[in-house]
Amino acid sequence: MKYKKPIFITIEGCEGCGKTTQSELLKKYLESKGLTVVLTREPGGSIVAEQVRNILLNPKFNVAPYCELMLYEASRAQHLEDIIKPNLQKGCVVICDRFTDSTLAYQGFARGIDKKIIEKLNNIATSGLKPDLTIYLDINPNKGIKKAKTVNKGKLTGGDRIERESLKFHNNVRKGFLELAKKYPNRIKKVKTSEVIEKTQKEINKEIDKFFKKKKIYV
């Protein structure tokens, strides 16, 4: 029997951490428990927001830091109205591949924009909506960035505009996520990624089961 619970889960991590694969596996796992699940992503996730994503990730564009920040927030504000809010209102579990923690990690910790400004803008774009649970997939950027750029029969590509940033930038992103995980231990659960997809999946499901049992959603 299908049943409904409005739960908002976000998946975060550095480049190449396997978020997208793990988000899809998590959707299937929760569906197997009888829940109605919507999987979406940021930046993007809806028609207008995906257009903003195309600007943000195009390596041909030079985007000024505040323009970058506001485009991520613009995409989020649209995505929230189009996908996140209506599906939570319908009682679905919404899984979002990246959300506000990415803005703090990338535009705050790595790009150097004042985190208080980002928190304010995050709050405006989301109308204060916070994830119920965040899974942070930890990977060393040294490994992750190579993985992220390796597509097309194992060939190394240039990557998108953000993937092309320096290793120092990506190390600062990771530091940001680790700091956020320390600051919000109840919400953000750190999972160490493994080369073996099933191993990472098992660790994620452990955190998911703990959370859902605590909420008395399934036992």
Residues that bind ligand TMP (CB under 6 A): 15, 41-43, 57, 72, 98, 102-103, 106-107, 162-163
DSSP 151: E
What are 164's two structure tokens?
């092309």
- Please say which residue, 78 or 102, places its beta carbon nearer to ligand TMP: 102
Q: How far apart are CA 113 and CA 74, in angstroms?
A: 17
Least Å distance, CB 81 to ligand TMP, is: 16
- Please say which residue, 107 or 172, places its beta carbon nearer to ligand TMP: 107
CB-based contact 174:101 (threshold 8 Å): no
- Please say which residue, 42 or 203, places its beta carbon nearer to ligand TMP: 42
Least Å distance, CB 202 to ligand TMP, is: 22
- Please say which residue, 160 or 207, places its beta carbon nearer to ligand TMP: 160
Least Å distance, CB 146 to ligand TMP, is: 15
State the chain's maximal CA–CA distance in angstroms. Answer: 50
Least Å distance, CB 22 to ligand TMP, is: 12
CB-based contact 203:191 (threshold 8 Å): yes
CB-based contact 183:190 (threshold 8 Å): no
Report strand pairing: 7-13 vs 133-138: parallel
